[in-house]
Amino acid sequence: MKKDLESNGKTVVGYCIPSAPCVAAKIKSETAKNLESLRQAEAILVLACGLGVQSVKDNDRLGLAVFPTSNTIFGAVMDAKGDFYEKCSLCGDCVLDKTAGICPITLCPKSLLNGPCGGMNKGKCEVDKDRDCAWFLIYKELEKSKKLESLKEIRKPKDYKKSNKPHKLLMAGR
């Protein structure tokens, strides 16, 4: 990024790599260490998800322009090759304890809670024939752990009130 910016006539006055950009204390610590460079800057580029960008903005004492360099489309896990895979929709109504750690809300295009749709074929999803059916994966995992009986439980419809945005969580006792 530094090389690209400089080749486009920009001056890079510094950089830092906080261990957790969405944690305010980490951002405050890094900005304090880099205050001299920040005083020379016109803007801060943040190579993190939207949470990191907002955390930097919220903790910037100098009022600099803060720009994202990434377009966040989901929360993900990263594999050994550096590829990202969405595994959780952060829905606030988790069923992972009942679905062998596989999220049907995220991995099923239809977000089905009570088993596969009628279009699943040979373990593949009808929406995307190259994608494994989430419920096929759940079945296989439950079968391995001898917990197939849990598939007989009917889950209530999802409580979408829990995913109204934006969320706020206040710590008790403050």
Distance CA 9, CA 173 (A): 51
Q: Could you tell me if 105 and 111 are in contact, meaning their C-beta atoms sit under 8 angstroms apart? A: yes
Greater model confidence, 48 or 117: 117
Amino acid making up residue 165: K
Question: Percent of the chain, pLDDT > 90?
Answer: 56
Q: What is the model's pTM?
A: 0.65
**Residue 40's pLDDT band (cuts 50, 70, 90):** very high
Distance CA 137, CA 150 (A): 14
- pLDDT of residue 152 exceeding 80, the answer is yes
**Residue whose tokens read 């920040």:** 38
- pLDDT of residue 119 exceeding 70, the answer is yes
- pLDDT of residue 37 exceeding 70, the answer is yes
- The DSSP letter of residue 141 is H
Greater model confidence, 169 or 152: 152
**Residue 80's pLDDT band (cuts 50, 70, 90):** confident
